[in-house]
Chains A and B, each alone.
Chain A
Amino acid sequence: MSAQDHAGHDHTHGGAAHGSLKGYLIGFVLSVILTAIPFWLVMDGVIDNKQATAVIVMAFAAVQIIVHMVFFLHMTPASEGGWSMLALIFTVILVVIVLSGSLWVMYHLNANMMPGLHEMRQMP
């Protein structure tokens, strides 16, 4: 088989598009910005309200994950005939259920069964 054969063959699979130099560079610059801002916010304590900082940091992480998916992992709704996207959506749903379910249930368990401060001090 010739090199062109390989190229044509790869192309028909479509799923593993390789992206372009421009795509990788855009992804890189975006992810550097999206990483630097949360670190700056936390390290320098720019916002006094910790909860607000946490929400902003999480929002940056969510955006950065999408940036990586698009520019580095080359996810498109059409890759592998839509099956990768379907698997991804299924996984995201499971992850959301696992994370929010665990945190929610365990928070309430903690809140209801937390020993009083007095007992806490006597613990080793």
Chain B
Amino acid sequence: MTSTAITAGAEPVFHLEEEHAHAEGGSTMLGFWLYLMSDCLIFAMLFAAFGVLGGNYAAGPAPKDLFDLGLVAVNTTMLLLSSITYGFAMLTMDKGRVGETQSWLAVTMLFGLAFLSIELYEFAHMIHEGATPQRSAFLSSFFTLVGTHGLHVTFGIVWMVTLMVQVARHGLIEANRRRLMCLSMFWHFLDVVWIGVFTFVYLMGTLR
């Protein structure tokens, strides 16, 4: 806020109100939440595109021919398990146990890698069968939506490795705790998006 004092003939004078101090990182969580919400909008657009184009097979393969729900169920389990293990990492972080936090992060990372491997196997299998992104509008929107989620998981894992190195070097200092809490939100958010993916893409696609 500024207040002005104008006297006749004199230049206007502006007084800046003293800003009170903000603790470092005090607004990081809210800022990161806002980023997640904007990310949520990206996924909403991709879901909308899939919703519109998901039925346009162009005489190509349909979800029923392509999707192996057993595999998707295993994949979903991997992501769910990684969510709970990240939760355990946060709980041990609260208690300040560096070793345990690191091990839970490593376990989370392994589940994340398992998820990615299964997804890549599924993609490779589909492409091998001729169900490439170029085949139909359904497949284009499928690969874009699921691929974007997979890319997010990939970057989540890169971030996790980075933080594990940081924690190994500097311990659970406040900056690292803040970063781990941001990654926690990111990771759980990806799990929420995956609920939408397996419901709308895989389950509803198979029903179609």
CB contact between A103 and one of B37, B48, B84, B93 (< 8 Å): that residue: B48
- Give complex CA distance A38, B73 in Å: 10
Residues of B within 8 A of A (CB): 23, 26, 29-30, 33-34, 37, 40-41, 44-45, 47-49, 51-52, 58-59, 69-70, 72-73, 76-77, 80, 83-84, 87-88, 90-91, 93-94, 96, 174, 177, 181, 185, 188-189, 191-192, 195-196, 198-200, 203-204, 206-207
Residue contact B51 to A103, C-beta cutoff 8 Å: yes
Chain A count of residues within 8 A CB distance of the other chain? 52
Query: Are the C-beta atoms of B192 and A68 separated by less than 8 Å?
Result: yes
* List of B residues within 8 angstroms of A24 by Cβ: 84, 87-88, 91
A sample of 26 inter-chain contacts (CB < 8 A) reads A16-B29, A18-B90, A19-B91, A27-B84, A27-B87, A42-B69, A42-B207, A43-B69, A58-B199, A65-B192, A68-B83, A69-B192, A72-B83, A72-B87, A72-B191, A73-B185, A73-B188, A88-B33, A88-B37, A95-B44, A98-B41, A99-B48, A102-B49, A103-B48, A103-B51, A103-B52
Chain B interface, >50% SS class: helix
Please tell me if the beta carbons of B40 and A91 are within 8 angstroms of each other in the complex: yes
Contact of B206 with A42 in the complex, beta carbons under 8 Å: yes
Q: How many A-B pairs fall under 8 Å by CB?
A: 135
